[in-house]
Amino acid sequence: MTSEKKTASGINVPILLGQLPLFSALAPEQMERIVAAARERHLAKGEMLFQKGDPAHGFFVVVSGQMKLALPSAQGNEKVVEIIGARQSFGEAVMFMDRPFPIFAEALVDTHLLHIGKNAVFQLIDADASFSRRLLAGLSMRLHSLIADVESYTLRSSAQRLIGYLLQHAPHDDDSVNRVEIKLPTSKHILASRLNLTPETFSRILHELSEGGLIEVQGRNITVPDLRRLRTHDL
């Protein structure tokens, strides 16, 4: 029977990890090993989890909160690579490379994490071919997402990038609903970097879309009155 190990906030660790595609099909004894290797981390808003160049001893699962993965630059700017939310993981690829992290990770809000040590993961890989396949599938999906990002930055206009992001985060539960509410997950400044835009360009596009009646902006809350119209805009 899998251990009922819980976090300090009362979250059942086996249930949490079992909700991740990577661990969803583990046998109880395999889950025991992962649970035993899990260590909690609590970060305050703005706190660094690791810096570029730090060694990778495993990977992380966000229990609650939000992490920013970014590349620093000599000019003091940064390029946001990814924004990681609850029930998402990160750091798996670097764990296998035996190289330091090429990015830094910072908590955007107070964040609760689990760190999964790499030794437990490597033991599972040696013992379970299906686990290895799921791990490869997850890494392949992450790579596909990064390739799509590069394609977006090089082939799509600034407006198309922002519209694409809004459409990606629009509710998809009911295709008959044409008016939707979208809450931006973080600040516009960080999202601008994520989309490879300057903050000024990001704000200008939001203003133009608002002026055109395509969206309504109130802080981080975006209302799309006509989802079908937004989908066909600027094609």
Percent of the chain residues topping a pLDDT of 70: 91
Quote the tokens at residue 34.
Answer: 């992962």
What is the per-residue pLDDT for 181? 93
Is residue 175 predicted with pLDDT exceeding 70?
no
- What per-residue confidence (pLDDT) applies to 2? 47
Note the pTM of the prediction, 2 decimals: 0.79
Residue 46: predicted pLDDT: 96
More confident residue, 166 or 2: 166
Say yes or no to pLDDT of 75 above 80. no
Confidence of residue 153 (pLDDT cuts 50, 70, 90): low
Token couple for 27: 């046998």
Report pLDDT for 172. Answer: 72
> How large is the angle between the packed helices 158-168 and 129-155, nearest 10 degrees?
140
- Whole-angstrom Cα distance, residue 229 to residue 103? 38
Evaluate if residue 152 carries a pLDDT over 70. Answer: no
Q: What are phi and psi of 232, to 5 degrees?
A: -95, 0
Average pLDDT over every residue of 11-39: 84
pLDDT at res. 21 = 77
Q: Using DSSP, state whether 216 is helix, strand or coil.
A: strand
pLDDT at 63 over 80: yes
Please count the other Cβ atoms lying within 10 Å of the Cβ belonging to residue 14: 21
Q: Would you state the pLDDT for residue 132?
A: 82
Q: What is the mean pLDDT of residues 141-170?
A: 80
Tens-digit pLDDT profile for residues 211-230: 999 999 999 999 999 998 99
> Please, which pLDDT band fits residue 1 given cuts at 50, 70 and 90?
very low
Question: Average pLDDT of the chain?
Answer: 86
Nearest to 80 by CA among 189, 202, 204: 189
- Runs of H (alpha helix) within the chain: 13-18, 28-37, 92-97, 118-127, 129-155, 158-168, 188-194, 199-211, 227-232
